[in-house]
Structure 1
Amino acid sequence: MAISGITNPLQAHSQAGGTSIRFDKQTKVFRIDAAGMSYLFGINEKKEPQTMYWGKRLPSMDSFAAPHSDGGLSSFDDSINTTRHEFAGWGGGLYVEPDLKITFPDGNRDLVLEYVSHAIAGDQLTILLKDISREVYVELLYQVDPKTGILRRSAQLQNKTAESLTIEQMASGTWNLPRGVDYRLRYLTGRWAGEWSLHEQMIQPGKTILESRRGSTGDQNNPWFAIDRASSNDQDQGDVWFGALGWSGSWQISVEQDQLQQIRVTGGPNAFDFGYRLVPGQHLQSPDFYAGFSDKGVGGASRLLHRFETSSILPHAPSPKLRPVLYNSWEATEFKVDEAGQETLAEKAATIGVERFVVDDGWFGKRVNDRAGLGDWYVNPVKFPHGLKPLIDKVHSLNMDFGLWVEPEMVNADSDLYRKHPDWVLNFTGRPRTEGRNQMMLNLARPDVREYIYQFLDKLLNENDIAFLKWDYNRNWSEPGWPAVAVEDQKKVYVDYVQNLYSILAELRAKYPKVEIESCSGGGSRVDLGIMRLTDEVWTSDNTDAFDRLLMQDGFSYAYAPGVMMAWVTDSPTWVNQRVLSLEYRFLSAMQGSLGIGANLNNWKPEDFATAKKMVNQYKQIRETTQRGSLYRLISPQKGSEQSVTESVSEDQGRAVTFAFLHSSQMLYRYPRIHLRGLRPDQLYKITALDGKLSANTPSVASGAFWMQQGVDVELRGDFQAAAFSLESTNR
């Protein structure tokens, strides 16, 4: 991108909907306004980009004086550490979290960046920084979304010196919050079969690190945060600053309260074991770091993020396709896949209204269990003697499209690929090669591995009418070595691997634009705004227990839109808890996201098919609202709650769908009254029970104000009960 200076005293670029990026030449202040948010920073007397304001949108008449670096407290706490930097190099005495750390060939590690120039183009602002003595440049990119006010930030380092340098840490930028001592941090943690656990804690002096060192995103932490004031406990009231990192590799977000009680949030690739040698003339781009502000509580923050993901992140944005009802055959057959058995399941799935039939693991190579076959991506000739075409034709004849499971980044030791190319896996020379699920990681940073993976996927899609790939990733990294390159370049594996993953997905999407892809990682281990740019949906968890999923789906929804959240109906009791749940309960739990069915249909009774057909039909009537609507968490399942209630409201506020769940009733207490939100107060809405019973005195039609103020009573009593109802404007 070309960089230029400013010649006019005031440069402003306005967008539709009141969005603008302005620069005041006299004060050297940049102001970004969009939706309900204002973001201001300026260039201080030391030529440093300095944060000035981030919060609720300010009137355009308000002006800010030129920024000045903080004077510091003492020789121990000088200006460089107390000024609220937008992006700071490690140098000049900096000891708070840096955005960029470099080692130069002469051993120098001091980096001091100064403002050079900037450019404004539409909704984008680019700032050019340069080191005080070396030809090292950094471009800071700011891009604002007009509808949500969410900012996308990234940084590009350019080496214009005559020698190579080594990047030891590179963040996308730092977000600075107003000074305060009552901030609360929310973040997501988890493990396999227990993902999406929401945690909150007060921000204290020092540093909280959210991270993954696993080579990929990981479910131990997810790269999302939300910060509010501890006194604000309502879902829909109070100021919230929130953000998410778009990177599918090892990552880190640092939340730091400094000695002046200022809060700074810095995020990017994880600095642990990181080292990227940048030769002269090369550049390195950081991941995108997104952040926004809401004055409507953490619920409002979620709704902004959901809208942004749907309109700006997902493939085919701003109008991605609604997710079809899916059937996956894994739990019915596991590895015992064959043409006849899959056709039988397809016939049964079609009778209940399924729109997509997916064959899972076991269709390829010599794959009879998880110990062999990964890496050998040819159709198993015993299981499918005529290839996949007869099964695909059968599925199409039943008015369903066809999907297939793949795990391209992995290899079994017992495979033709590994026997031919043992050097293709991540490894350290002479060290053991750790296996997980009996498999090793291919080193996708290698160009030959990247080419192999792309070619077999291209061949698979070119020769078969496949509409969907379930792209799995069932272990994290170990021995992250790359012996084929020079020692000083081996740590590039953390970046080059992810870039090649992204490039394969992008190239396949360009060549096969109708093929949809699910990001799956033994559950929700690789879910982030980087992978979501290239995939249409994500697998939430291998744990499909419908009661457990209420808590996990609630946590998921803080960071990601329900429309991408795959939620399956599986058999009861599940392997997880041996808990027995009705088929209706299981469907209602899954219908809050993108509905899938994974039960063994061969064991279903006629009444199960009848129930499923009814529920699938109901889902098709409401899925646009549940997948794309505004989500309100009316009663949270967090902290051992006996109840859980969610409401989704269509964008035009003409329709709403509410799901209510009861763990167990006690002592004749009735289910709490449900007070809806997000409706038009003066609009009339007709209520319809989808499943379960409404109170006998519930009116059939009432105003939005009535449903929000008077509320709705549902008749739920017993253990593991559920109900759902919809509201529809009488003007529709």
Structure 2
Amino acid sequence: MRVVTPTFRHGARMLLTLTASMIVLLLQLHGQSAGVHPEAIRYDEAARIFRIDAADVSYVIGINQNQQLQTLYWGKRLRPGDTLSPAHADGGSSGFDLSVSATPQEFTGWGGGLVVVPNLKITFPDGNRDLVLHYLSHTIRNNTLTISLKDIGRDVVVDLLYQVDEATGVLARSARVENRTQQPFTIEQVLAATWNLDASRDYQLRYLTGRWAGEWNLQQTQLRPGKIVLESRRGSTGVEVNPWFAIERSKQADQDVGDVWFGALGWSGSWQMNLETDWQNRVRITGGYSPFDFAYILSPGKSLETPKFYGGYTNQGIGGASRLLHRFELDSIVPQAPHRRLRPVLYNSWEATGFDVNEAGQEALAEKAASIGVERFVMDDGWFGERKDDHAGLGDWYINPQKFPHGLRPMIDKVHALGMDFGLWVEPEMVNPNSDLYRKHPEWVLNFTGRPRTEGRNQLVLNLAREDVRAYVYGFLDKLLSENDIAFLKWDYNRNWSEPGWPDAPLQEQKEVYVKYVQNLYSILIELRKKHPNVEIESCSGGGARVDLGIMHLTDEIWPSDNTDPFDRLSIQNGFSYAYAPGVMMAWVTDSPNWMNNRSTSLEYRFLSSMQGSLGIGANLNKWTQEDFATAKRLVAEYKDARATIQDGSLYRLISPDGDSAASVTEFVARDGHEAVVFAFLHSSQKGQPYPRLYLHGLQPDAVYTIHAREGKLEDDTVQRASGDYWMHHGVSISLRGDFQAAFLTLERDSSQ
């Protein structure tokens, strides 16, 4: 028996099937996998049971008498001596409920009377659509458990891949479908994995929904018999619902108590999750490529691998689930993990200048940004082609000679002389019909022959599945980065797909556009990162419309919403944090009154709202007073002092802004416990009520911490030094009164401890 511990900490963490050359590039980018711990994956040959143990989680599967791969256990880590009964297929309760649907299988084909959502559905050339998968073999090698299933009659083999992160117990699952027959067949549906939960009548589902400028709304509902479908058919991840879920057994008032199972897809295209609750109140979750308008022709000898479907468990409530997922993302998913660079303080010129950018104006803004401690200056839209507004220029990625007669170099040199690095906005996947590129290559966009080409934001979507389009996009980005000292790209994507046709491809392959587009997007990012390893990238899509563990694996930070109203952002950022780490979330300080709601807030309030993630500034500095600059300089310095704890620490939601709460409080605790950072917000005082007393979390009980009010005021009777137990159980009171008030506290552990 060979036993190897899987790990996501290095280059073998790719999220989907890529070409061999792309995999080589990724391995070079992240380094080779390492680390062998002989107890993470074990196989009991006598019982035919696989057991995966990591962190505080055990995942156990077995091979039953029907040669099906069956889930036996997923939950809190079992003791080494604990044993489970061998897998045994469930009998149906009647002739209507066959065993194939009643048994909690890990991966199913559509066949044998299956009525639940199948993982794999195939149509063969002779019209057969029946697919029954049985256990064939397995290997434990190169940090991966691979279990092979095969159809009972045809040479269709499915390799199920399991990789576990030993620090968090998060498990990544995917499937690779291989055609070993002599003819091509059509994959009509392929979902990466099935997660099975035991019977309970008290499962609570959480998921995230939204719209433009109103993203990241946490929804909660009780699971009852039936099916809930979460999906995007938009060609990208989508803002209406995000590919993340959490299921809690029995609703808990305390965020840090209770059993929670959670999962997220690593895919940036159309996707689907199905949450089925059967007649026995057992829950079955499947997820992967959206089957809508989907068909993938698999030729003999070829294979298709699904995206990764990640899953985790904790008994520390939804708060604990978030912290585990954050730790996994920061240490295993984001580029350069686990030794990633903290996010620099950023200034973006968009709200100051719009499309009206030029060398002199940008340099003047750069001087002002540098004066308050900004570390990265980003020039937004309007620098290229004939880009005077959003009606023209996308696709023509040459530097506008009227705006920048000497190219970008003089401005970049100026930015560097001011002590900042330089970033640039791009939207590589789009084209305006009013552009040289479109006039030359109208066939390069997604389209159906003879049908209208629906515009969104006056633009069309380039068909990145085409190799000539992929080469063009990679080529201009590579040229831009090679010829200019650019440290950062804000990569935007401002519309959904329409008319998703690929008329130049063979008819039977045209629906493969949904997969090949995203594969080529990923491959461009991989190659750019290899050739330009010091360039960082932000994923932006009209706000938070393309946020998932696939794009996060290849980009350094995420833009969660175009809505920068500091009060709205409290709930937007709160929802974002359920699935994604605040350390990758970009948050801007913009002008007041804010354009979204015409709401006026103080500069201090706006800064503190944005300091709960990666701090950015997008205000028009040309309109600031000297007092504004002094305030901003002070707050930027305070943020830098606490940045490591905010971006890399553990998040506790002390008071949620949801449900029209007048208060919102977040706490970040450093990994080593040396510091805690608290942000408190008040919408408005009512009837003279004091601000709620705060009971902190995550401190070392016997350590001594000194409290500091960086912004805002503590109540007069507050002690300055006390134990972690004191701050967690006695609590602390803040003096917040009025409208749109905020406070910023730090607690520092005594250096001797």
What are the equivalent positions in structure 2 for 1:144-183 lying under 5 Å apart? 144-183=164-203
The question of 1:425 aligning with 2:445 is answered yes
Amino acid of the structure 2 residue aligned with 1:345: L
**Corresponding residue for 1:544?**
564
**Corresponding residue for 1:72?**
92
**Corresponding residue for 2:8?**
none
Q: Which residue, 316, 319, 326 being the options, matches 2:336? A: 316
Q: Indicate if the aligned counterparts of 1:695 and 1:713 stay in contact, CA closer than 8 A.
A: yes
Gaps of 5+ in 1: 1-7
What are the equivalent positions in structure 2 for 1:57-456 lying under 5 Å apart? 57-121=77-141, 123-456=143-476
| CA distance in structure 1 between the aligned counterparts of 2:591 and 2:246, rounded to whole angstroms | 36
Q: Which residue, 697, 702, 710 being the options, matches 1:677? A: 697
**Corresponding residue for 2:20?**
none
Q: Deviations over 1:472-530 (max 9, x none)?
A: 00000000000001111000000000000000000000000000000000101000000
**Corresponding residue for 1:467?**
487
**Corresponding residue for 2:720?**
700
| SS of 2:312 mapped into structure 1 | strand
Deviation at 1:731, TM superposition (A): 1.8
| CA distance in structure 1 between the aligned counterparts of 2:187 and 2:473, rounded to whole angstroms | 29
**Corresponding residue for 1:660?**
680
**Corresponding residue for 1:642?**
662
Amino acid of the structure 2 residue aligned with 1:700: Q
**Corresponding residue for 1:729?**
749
| CA distance in structure 1 between the aligned counterparts of 2:126 and 2:467, rounded to whole angstroms | 31
| SS of 1:639 mapped into structure 2 | coil
| CA distance in structure 2 between the aligned counterparts of 1:36 and 1:687, rounded to whole angstroms | 33
**Corresponding residue for 2:498?**
478
Amino acid of the structure 2 residue aligned with 1:330: W
| SS of 1:368 mapped into structure 2 | coil
Amino acid of the structure 2 residue aligned with 1:631: L
Between the two proteins, the alignment pairs up a number of residues equal to 723
| CA distance in structure 2 between the aligned counterparts of 1:538 and 1:252, rounded to whole angstroms | 22
Deviation at 1:16, TM superposition (A): 7.0
Q: Deviations over 1:516-563 (max 9, x none)?
A: 000000101000000000000000100000000000000000000000
**Corresponding residue for 2:40?**
20
| CA distance in structure 1 between the aligned counterparts of 2:36 and 2:550, rounded to whole angstroms | 27
Deviation at 1:121, TM superposition (A): 2.3
The question of 1:512 aligning with 2:532 is answered yes
The two structures have a TM-score, normalised by structure 2, of 0.95
Gaps of 5+ in 2: 6-34
| SS of 2:161 mapped into structure 1 | strand
Amino acid of the structure 1 residue aligned with 2:457: R
Q: Deviations over 1:571-599 (max 9, x none)?
A: 01111100001000000000000000000
Amino acid of the structure 2 residue aligned with 1:360: D
Q: Indicate if the aligned counterparts of 1:19 and 1:146 stay in contact, CA closer than 8 A.
A: no
**Corresponding residue for 1:3?**
none
The question of 1:565 aligning with 2:585 is answered yes
The question of 1:589 aligning with 2:594 is answered no
Q: Indicate if the aligned counterparts of 1:19 and 1:35 stay in contact, CA closer than 8 A.
A: no
Q: Indicate if the aligned counterparts of 1:482 and 1:493 stay in contact, CA closer than 8 A.
A: yes
Q: Indicate if the aligned counterparts of 1:123 and 1:145 stay in contact, CA closer than 8 A.
A: no
Deviation at 1:700, TM superposition (A): 1.1
Q: Which residue, 600, 605, 613 being the options, matches 1:580? A: 600
| CA distance in structure 1 between the aligned counterparts of 2:737 and 2:251, rounded to whole angstroms | 34
Amino acid of the structure 1 residue aligned with 2:218: L
| CA distance in structure 2 between the aligned counterparts of 1:540 and 1:581, rounded to whole angstroms | 21
Q: Deviations over 1:296-343 (max 9, x none)?
A: 000000000000000000000011100000000000000000000000
Q: Indicate if the aligned counterparts of 2:4 and 2:144 stay in contact, CA closer than 8 A.
A: no
Q: Deviations over 1:51-87 (max 9, x none)?
A: 0000001101111121110011111001001000100
| SS of 2:53 mapped into structure 1 | strand
Deviation at 1:701, TM superposition (A): 0.8
| SS of 2:81 mapped into structure 1 | coil
| CA distance in structure 1 between the aligned counterparts of 2:425 and 2:300, rounded to whole angstroms | 42
Deviation at 1:20, TM superposition (A): 1.3
Q: Indicate if the aligned counterparts of 1:18 and 1:34 stay in contact, CA closer than 8 A.
A: no
Q: Indicate if the aligned counterparts of 1:37 and 1:293 stay in contact, CA closer than 8 A.
A: yes
Amino acid of the structure 1 residue aligned with 2:426: V
Deviation at 1:230, TM superposition (A): 3.1
Amino acid of the structure 2 residue aligned with 1:426: L
Q: Indicate if the aligned counterparts of 1:21 and 1:123 stay in contact, CA closer than 8 A.
A: no
**Corresponding residue for 1:524?**
544
**Corresponding residue for 1:500?**
520
| CA distance in structure 2 between the aligned counterparts of 1:579 and 1:12, rounded to whole angstroms | 59
**Corresponding residue for 1:4?**
none
Amino acid of the structure 1 residue aligned with 2:199: R
| CA distance in structure 2 between the aligned counterparts of 1:569 and 1:18, rounded to whole angstroms | 49
**Corresponding residue for 1:55?**
75
**Corresponding residue for 1:618?**
638
Task: Report the identity percentage.
Answer: 66
Q: Indicate if the aligned counterparts of 1:202 and 1:230 stay in contact, CA closer than 8 A.
A: no
Q: Deviations over 1:412-433 (max 9, x none)?
A: 0000000000000000000000
| SS of 1:171 mapped into structure 2 | strand
Amino acid of the structure 1 residue aligned with 2:685: S
| SS of 2:451 mapped into structure 1 | coil
- Report the aligned-residue RMSD: 1.0
Deviation at 1:107, TM superposition (A): 0.6
Amino acid of the structure 2 residue aligned with 1:710: H
| SS of 1:137 mapped into structure 2 | strand
Q: Deviations over 1:372-414 (max 9, x none)?
A: 0000000000000000000000000000000000000000000
Q: Indicate if the aligned counterparts of 1:18 and 1:35 stay in contact, CA closer than 8 A.
A: no
| CA distance in structure 2 between the aligned counterparts of 1:303 and 1:202, rounded to whole angstroms | 23
Deviation at 1:13, TM superposition (A): 4.1
| CA distance in structure 2 between the aligned counterparts of 1:692 and 1:19, rounded to whole angstroms | 50
Q: Indicate if the aligned counterparts of 2:423 and 2:487 stay in contact, CA closer than 8 A.
A: yes
| SS of 1:166 mapped into structure 2 | strand
| SS of 1:433 mapped into structure 2 | coil
| CA distance in structure 2 between the aligned counterparts of 1:13 and 1:347, rounded to whole angstroms | 54
| CA distance in structure 2 between the aligned counterparts of 1:106 and 1:243, rounded to whole angstroms | 37
Q: Deviations over 1:617-652 (max 9, x none)?
A: 000000100000000000000111110000000001
| SS of 2:699 mapped into structure 1 | coil
Deviation at 1:19, TM superposition (A): 5.0
**Corresponding residue for 2:64?**
44
Q: Deviations over 1:116-167 (max 9, x none)?
A: 1101126421001111111111000000000000000000000111100111
Q: Which residue, 633, 640, 651 being the options, matches 1:631? A: 651
Deviation at 1:668, TM superposition (A): 1.2
| SS of 2:659 mapped into structure 1 | helix
